[in-house]
């Protein structure tokens, strides 16, 4: 019976994920002012996410190739539905009523986009031409544009990054990449003009948050104070003054890293970075050993997207990146992003363990 549950679970990756989740529960208990209800809710989220991970770990990768196009088209249809009929919450149109529940289709695209691009490049592996990369760019930019329009800049950045990782791993020429970077820099004035006012304000606050210390700059100022005040070994669990005097905003979700840094300090941050890097390193090993182009591209995109999650959140909390709605993976409170991340890890485990099964 035990073999049935563990046959397609990668031990090292699973242990690292559990350690990060446990760390998240410990920090959440402090960040929520010892709210057992909040911790219990997150524990249920984790159980659901781990179940989803186990299910996808047991699905052979060749079945995922059949799902790639239908899942992508479904996600695209739902995004169009959001644009036409979605609910507006706090000025953003991100949710769609489906039957008796409400969903956020952009979360589905975090998996659907790299899945679709990996399938597309695998299908044309023997005859890859520049036009294939152009088609792939269209497959990427359409959902990214729909999500950015909601507006949901954080999710759009994550999905755009995951697609770019697939393009890079599929062998896109460095000269073309350099050209895209130059074109991107040249288009910054245009991009600035299409940003919403609050998005421009977030970028300006990155340069000088003291311009509006009680408004747009508040998040950045308070989070950097918390990170810096932790010192080498931190103030101790449940002893963070920035946290428990309610200075840190969104301290159980996007800014939970500020709580962690204040209470566990530089030493704790190094431990957390080690665990995150362990997950990333294991993911890259699985990517390098993947048997097909489809599995290699998909595994690489999932791993590097996880890196992007962590990098953007820590950079945002530390004041070196603009404030965007990106949680700290496996640590922040919330169910949707946690399930999406663990679904990706399930696919990683499937790629690794089914490869071994075929070889033996």
| 238-257 confidence digits (pLDDT tens) | 888 888 888 888 888 889 99
Whether 322 contacts 337, CB under 8 Å:
no
Residue with tokens 């941050």: 269
Provide the residue range defining the domain that includes 126. Answer: 2-359
Q: Could you tell me if 177 and 169 are in contact, meaning their C-beta atoms sit under 8 angstroms apart? A: no
Dihedral sign from CA coordinates of 148, 150, 151, 153: negative
Output 21 or 101, whichever has higher pLDDT: 21
* Count: domains in the chain: 1
| Cα 301 from Cα 185, distance rounded (Å) | 24
Do β-strands 101-103 and 92-98 pair in parallel, antiparallel, or remain unpaired?
A: antiparallel
Q: 0.75 exceeded by the pTM?
A: yes
Question: pLDDT tens digit string along 165-191?
Answer: 999 898 888 788 788 778 777 877 777
Give 28's strand partners. none
User: What is the arithmetic mean of pLDDT over 270-297?
Assistant: 94
- Is the model more confident about 197 or about 267? 267
Beta-ladder partners of 95: 87
DSSP string, 78-122: HHHHHHHHPEEETTEEEEEEETTEEE-HHHHHHHHHHHHHHHHHH
d(CA 265, CA 250): 20
Given a contact cutoff of 8 angstroms between Cβ atoms, the answer to whether 305 and 279 are in contact is: no
């Amino acid at each position: 019976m035990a073999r049935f549950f563990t046959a397609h679970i990668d031990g090292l990756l699973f242990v690292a994920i559990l350690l990060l989740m446990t760390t998240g529960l410990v920090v959440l208990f402090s960040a929520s002012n010892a709210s057992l209800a909040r911790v219990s809710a997150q524990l249920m989220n984790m159980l659901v996410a781990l179940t989803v991970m186990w299910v996808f770990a047991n699905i052979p990768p060749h079945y995922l190739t059949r799902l790639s196009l239908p899942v992508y088209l479904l996600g695209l249809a739902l995004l169009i539905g959001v644009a036409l009929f979605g609910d507006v919450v706090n000025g953003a149109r991100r949710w769609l009523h489906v039957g008796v529940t409400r969903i956020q289709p952009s979360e589905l695209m975090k998996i659907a986009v790299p899945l679709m691009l990996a399938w597309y490049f695998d299908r044309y592996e023997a005859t890859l031409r520049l036009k294939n990369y152009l088609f792939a760019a269209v497959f990427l930019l359409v959902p990214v544009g729909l999500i950015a329009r909601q507006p949901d800049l954080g999710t759009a950045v994550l999905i755009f990054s995951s697609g770019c990782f697939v393009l890079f791993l599929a062998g896109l020429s460095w000269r073309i990449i350099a050209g895209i970077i130059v074109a991107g820099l040249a288009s910054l004035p245009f991009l600035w003009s299409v940003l919403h006012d609050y998005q421009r304000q977030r970028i300006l606050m990155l340069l000088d948050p003291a311009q509006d210390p009680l408004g747009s700059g508040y998040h950045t100022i308070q989070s950097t104070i918390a990170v810096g005040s932790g010192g080498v070994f931190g103030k101790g669990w449940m002893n963070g003054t920035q946290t428990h005097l309610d200075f840190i905003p969104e301290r159980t979700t996007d800014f939970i890293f500020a709580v962690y840094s204040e209470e566990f300090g530089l030493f704790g941050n190094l431990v957390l970075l080690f665990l995150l890097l362990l997950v990333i390193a294991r993911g890259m090993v699985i990517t390098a050993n993947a048997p097909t182009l489809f599995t290699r591209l998909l595994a690489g995109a999932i791993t590097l997207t996880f890196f992007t999650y962590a990098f953007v959140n820590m950079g945002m909390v530390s004041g070196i990146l603009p404030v965007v709605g990106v949680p700290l993976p496996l640590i922040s409170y919330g169910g949707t992003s946690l399930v999406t991340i663990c679904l990706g890890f399930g696919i990683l485990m499937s790629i690794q363990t089914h490869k071994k099964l075929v070889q033996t």
